[in-house]
């Protein structure tokens, strides 16, 4: 899944570039879109499952400014016993060139809404998460 974002005035801080906290919003917007398209969000709500980010590691390679056109893409990197890791990139598209301006690894768990405990990623939940990678987006090798 990928979303496109044009950097607007309200994305910019006093230093005239996108503040590092905004990158987290861009990444989250793509994750919601990505998981929504795969019906994971709807399925989780129906099954009283809550998804929670527990760790985010972000790298910032280039400043992003007003008017920049960005593409945010996501893929599943690892699926463990109780947690999964999503890899994401923000790519600036300018004059026919594409460059990674940031990337991130987001670790999340699934919590059973009835017991309030982290769930083992198995059976239908594992299938839903694995299905997220059915489409290949254009990641740039780092």
Domains and CATH numbers, the chain: 2-131 (3.10.129.10)
Higher-confidence residue of 36 and 119: namely 119
**Among candidates 99, 121, 106, 139, which has minimal Cα distance to 49?**
121
Q: What percent of the chain has pLDDT over 90?
A: 76
Catalytic residue among 13, 103, 123, 137: 13
What is the rounded average pLDDT of the residues 80-91? Answer: 96
Angle in degrees, CA 124, 79, 133, rounded to 5: 75
Phi first, then psi: what are they for 47, rounded to 5°?
-100, 10
Beta bridge partners of 92: 70, 99
Phi first, then psi: what are they for 45, rounded to 5°?
-60, -45
13 catalytic residue (yes or no): yes
pLDDT in tens, 5-54: 999 999 998 888 899 899 999 999 999 998 888 889 999 999 999 999 99
Residue 80 CA to residue 69 CA, distance in Å, equals: 34
Residue 68 CA to residue 116 CA, distance in Å, equals: 41
What is the rounded average pLDDT of the residues 105-117? Answer: 96
Question: Do residues 56 and 104 touch, judged by C-beta distance below 8 A?
Answer: yes
Three-state secondary-structure class, residue 120: coil
């Amino acid at each position: 899944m990928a979303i496109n974002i044009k950097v607007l005035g309200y994305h910019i801080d006093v230093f005239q570039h996108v503040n590092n906290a905004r990158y987290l919003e861009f990444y989250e917007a793509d994750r919601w879109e990505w998981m929504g398209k795969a019906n994971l969000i709807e399925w989780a709500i129906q099954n009283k499952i809550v998804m929670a980010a527990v760790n985010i590691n972000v790298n910032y390679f280039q400043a992003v400014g007003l008017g920049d056109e960005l593409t945010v893409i996501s893929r599943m990197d690892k699926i463990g016993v109780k947690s999964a890791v999503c890899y994401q990139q923000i790519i600036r598209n300018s004059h026919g060139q594409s460059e990674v301006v940031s990337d991130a690894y987001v670790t999340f768990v699934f919590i059973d809404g009835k017991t309030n405990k982290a769930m083992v990623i198995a059976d239908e939940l594992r299938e839903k998460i694995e299905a997220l990678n059915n489409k290949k987006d254009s990641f740039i090798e780092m």
